[in-house]
Amino acid sequence: MIMDVKQIQEYLPHRFPFLLVDAILEIQEGESITGIKNVTINEWFFQGHFPGKPVMPGVLIVEAMAQTAGVMLLSTELKEQKGKVIYFMTIDLVKFRKPVVPGDQLVMKLKLMKFKGNIGKFHGEAFVGDSIVAEADMMAMVGEK
């Protein structure tokens, strides 16, 4: 682990219950980042999604990938941008392959495809173990808080 949740909070403005990245395992500057989310039964969203059959909402899996990408942009590509926020611009080609349930460790792998000005384009994949559970292409912009 190269970044714990306290260090992640130095870059992302998200806080409980919406911070969806617990640790960063690897960053290759300008190329890729790997983060994790430990999914527990105590997550707020399991109260209603779904009672008796808890499944992590797909939109939150995509959000976790986007937050991981945000850490990469704010901690390496744009060091002078620490304290700024990342805004979604597009989310494309989203695919959900398997449900994510309590007890899973979600591993998010993001590749930076292009970076120009204050806009980054990423391809993200989320895994549980060796199985891909979701993937998406996304663009995000660095903005003011």
Task: Give catalytic status of residue 49 as yes or no.
Answer: yes
pLDDT for residue 18: 96
Residue 42 has pLDDT above 90, yes or no: yes
Active-site option among 9, 32, 49, 111 = 49
pLDDT for residue 80: 62
Can you give 78-104 as a three-state secondary structure string? CHHHCCCEEEEEEEEEEEECCCCCCCC
Domain count, the chain: 1
pLDDT, mean of residues 13-38: 95
Residue 77 has pLDDT above 70, yes or no: no
pLDDT, mean of residues 28-34: 93
Give the domain CATH number at 60. Answer: 3.10.129.10
pLDDT, mean of residues 106-120: 94
pLDDT digits (tens, 9 = 90+) for 78-107: 566 666 888 999 999 999 999 999 999 999
- Lowest model confidence (mean pLDDT) among 13-17, 56-60, 141-145: 141-145
* Residues 10, 11, 13: CA angle, nearest 5 degrees: 90
The torsion of the CA quartet 77, 7, 25, 53, rounded to 10 degrees, works out to -110
pLDDT, mean of residues 107-127: 95
User: pLDDT above 90 covers what percent of the chain?
Assistant: 82
Provide the residue range defining the domain that includes 117: 3-143
The torsion region of residue 52 among left (phi > 0), alpha (psi -120 to 50) and beta comes to: left
Return d(Cα 89, Cα 30) in angstroms, integer.
20
Return d(Cα 116, Cα 55) in angstroms, integer.
36
Nearest CA to 110 out of 119, 97, 121, 123 is that of 123
pLDDT for residue 69: 95
